Structure formats: structure tokens, C-alpha cells
Copies of this chain bind each other. A is one copy, B any other.
């Protein structure tokens, strides 16, 4: 199996590229919360009303030039819904077979619009690396296209109206996914979290709210959406990320220089286990891939490309794994298949 080709068929463009500051930043995400006029928010609206919203989305897709596709969550199986979560195209809460839930996706997997999640419409754009402004530019275009196709709830005083008051105003949530092994190994996670809090930012695990960090990956996003312009939010978060990036690089360099032997040993042991193990949980895989990615980014493992590790961090997730091998797999079979897939991909590079 030509895994490079297969992975790229299944993975969004923001995963198969490194992007700016790609040694520390995995991706940037913009989310705009929008609602339709004259329809109650999803949590209180009738199914009939929500289906009306879904029909509007359908018409929007039909008229758009972007080759969008509307996926109805009730129309696909559970593994496919989970796959959308793992690709970060929908939130975990949106992954249920409800007749009113849908998601519009772009062919490259960089744009998605959740229909009838917490808000009627949640536009999301993902970019590789630290690229919030570009992501926002694209989200803003989609927003204009949506607004031309359907009536969006907007108050001149409060801005965009949203189901949750924390989203009112710009309806903008900007997030950056960071790979911070230097911070974690130096025991500075709590310190960084503290600084985030003071700056009106939130730090979370891999899949957003309520999820634990895995593989030293964190999501940082703005907390407040009201009282600041979009530009201010983006600039504030970008400049904070630039500071974290500098700190992370400094810590990596320090660890590497002060504990060279131990560090090199840990990185290569991780590569050895990934190259030889016959069974592997996704948690263990994330830890080891994180360590090897760090080794590549520090130049300890010259042969490998960092983007391959980034791809593997995504394809090893349960649903995507099943999609890639085209089989339904129980948890134990997944552990075997996951180890096999990683071994095969790494051996294709080594040979």
C-alpha cells in the first residue's frame, strides 16, 4: 500500500503541510458563530425550524462555487461521524445521528460549516502552522457568502447574536494548536496555563473543551469575543503564540544541550518502539510520535520529515484508522493495525 498517497487522500491540507512555525504550531483555526434570523437557537428550536435551517444550508451548497458537500450526520454511520471529529471538521458534541445536524465541508478539508450545533451555523477554517490571519480572511469570505444566501441574526449594538453569551459580538473564536514538549518536559505547563488565564486566553487539550492534552499538544484560544475587533483578537492571540513559540524553542534547546545523552536516548527509543511494536494504543502512539517529532525538529533524526509525524498523529485515531484500512475493527484489532500502519509508514521512509 502506498501509504503516502493513501494518507493524503484521507487527510486535510492543514495536516499534510507544516505551515509557518511548523516546528511548534500544528494548525490555526478560525470559528465564526452565526445564527439565522427568526429561528430560535438550536437548543430550544423545534425540529421543523432546524430542518428549515438545514434546507437553507443545502441550497447554499448547491449555489456555491466551492464544491462544498453537505453531510447529514444522520445519514452516515458512527465511524464516519467519529472520523469527522478526528479530522476536526465537527465538534465531539455534533457527532450524533440527529436529523437536524449537518456539516458542510470543502474538498481540501480546510473549511467546514456545522449546521445546528450550539449555533445554527459555525464556520470553521483550518490552516497549517501559525496562520490565523489567512484563516480568518477565508472564514470572512465564507461568512459573506452565507450572509448573501440567508438572513443572519445581527444586532448593531451587540454584534452577532449567539446561543452562548461568551460568543456574542464577533462570534469569533481563534485557536492555535501547539506542540509543546519543551514546556511539558520542563514542568512549565501550569505556568503557561496561568499566563493564558491572565491574558483572557484558554488552553485546552487536543479536541477542545473538556479534553485532556495528549502527545504534548495544546489548543490555545481567545475567551472573549465581545468588545474587541476581529483584528485585535487575531493579533493578540498571534503575538501570545509567538511568545510561547520562542519559549518552547528555548526550552527544547536547553533540554537538548543540558541533557543531551538522555534526550537523544529517549527520542531514539521512541522511534525504536514505533518501528518495532506489534500493538499500540492511541495514547502511547501520541506520546511516542510527539517525542520523535521533537527529535526531528531538533535535528536529532535527520532522515525523517516532521510532517510525516504530524500525519501519523492524525491517522492513528480510531475512526480514521478504520477508514484507511477499509475495515471495521474492535479495540484490540485497532491496536494491532495502528502499530502495523506506523511500522509500514516509517519503514517506507527508512528504506
A interface with B by C-beta (< 8 Å): 261-262, 264-265, 268-269, 271-279, 332, 336, 339
Task: Please report the C-alpha to C-alpha distance between residue A237 and residue B327 in the assembled complex, in whole angstroms.
Answer: 55
Residues of B within 8 A of A332 (CB): 261
Check if B275 sits within 8 Å of A276, measured CB to CB: yes
Please measure, in the bound complex, the distance between the C-alpha atom of A346 and the C-alpha atom of B272, giving whole angstroms.
13
- Whether A273 pairs with B278 at a CB distance below 8 angstroms is no
The 6 closest A-B pairs by CB, nearest first: A272-B276, A272-B272, A265-B278, A265-B279, A268-B276, A264-B278
Chain B residues lying within 8 Å of A268, measured Cβ to Cβ, are 276-278
Cα(A147)–Cα(B279), bound, Å: 61
Q: Which residues of B contact A271 (CB under 8 A)?
A: 276
Per DSSP, chain A at the interface is helix
Residue of A262, A272, A274, A332 contacting most chain B CB atoms (<10 Å): A272
Chain B residues with Cβ below 8 Å from A277 are 265, 268-269, 272
Closest to A277 in B: B269
A276 to B292, CA, bound (A): 12
24 contacts between A and B (CB under 8 A): A261-B278, A261-B279, A261-B332, A261-B336, A262-B279, A264-B278, A265-B277, A265-B278, A265-B279, A265-B339, A268-B276, A268-B277, A268-B278, A269-B276, A269-B277, A269-B278, A271-B276, A272-B272, A272-B275, A272-B277, A273-B273, A273-B276, A275-B275, A275-B276
Chain B residue at smallest Cβ distance from A278: B265
Residues of B within 8 Å of A273, CB to CB, are: 269, 272-273, 276
A339 to B269, CA, bound (A): 11
Closest-by-CB residue of B relative to A332 is B261
Chain B residues with CB under 8 A of A336 = 261
Q: A261-B336, A268-B277, A272-B272 are in contact. List 8 more A-B contacts (CB 8 A).
A: A261-B278, A262-B279, A269-B273, A269-B276, A269-B278, A271-B276, A273-B276, A275-B275
For A264, list chain B residues within 8 Å (CB). 278
Closest CB-CB distance, A71 to chain B, in whole Å?
36
B residues less than 8 Å from A262 (CB atoms): 279
A279 → chain B, closest Cβ, in Å? Answer: 4
Chain B residue nearest to A333 (CB atoms) is B261
CA distance A154 to B332 in the complex (A): 67
Tell me how far the C-beta of A271 lies from the nearest C-beta in chain B, rounded to whole angstroms: 6
In the complex the two chains form, what is the Cα distance from A339 to B339 in whole Å?
24
A183 CB to nearest chain B CB (Å): 24
What chain B residues lie within 8 Å of A269 (beta carbons)?
Answer: 273, 276-278
